[in-house]
Amino acid sequence: MTTLTILVLRLSTSYNRNILVHLNPRKAVGVDDILPRILRLGSPVLAEKVTKLINFCILNHSLPSEWKQARLTPVFKWGVDTDLTKPTTALSQ
């Protein structure tokens, strides 16, 4: 008989706090319009809430539709045919 093992990924609060603390405050805002500086300063309080939210999404196999959004900005390649663009996506960090 074969035994099936399912591993469930769960993030820790310390892992998420570390990510928030190391955000570059000079980066642009994402779709959520929250400054990285605010996320960084609020990391002691936000890390636990963000961890609970992410772990909930992992356990329920679903993501909010807002997390699937991105802003596309065409970046023109100068010196090449002007019809060619390189699409750039700004994602929230």
Half-sphere exposure of 85 (CA within 13 A, CB side): 9
Domains of the chain: total: 1
Averaged pLDDT for residues 42-59: 93
Domain membership of residue 29 (yes or no) is yes
CA R_g for the chain: 18
- Residue 53: which of 64, 40, 44 has the closest Cα? 64
Look at residue 86 and tell me if it is in a domain: yes
What confidence tier does 93 reach under pLDDT thresholds 50, 70, 90? very low
- The answer to whether residue 7 is domain-embedded is no
For residues 41 and 34, the answer to whether their CB atoms sit within 8 Å is no
Whether 23 maps to a domain, the answer reads yes
Summarize pLDDT for 2-15 with one digit per residue, the tens: 776 667 688 999 99
CA dist 35 and 75 (Å) reads: 23
Q: Which domain holds residue 59?
A: 13-90
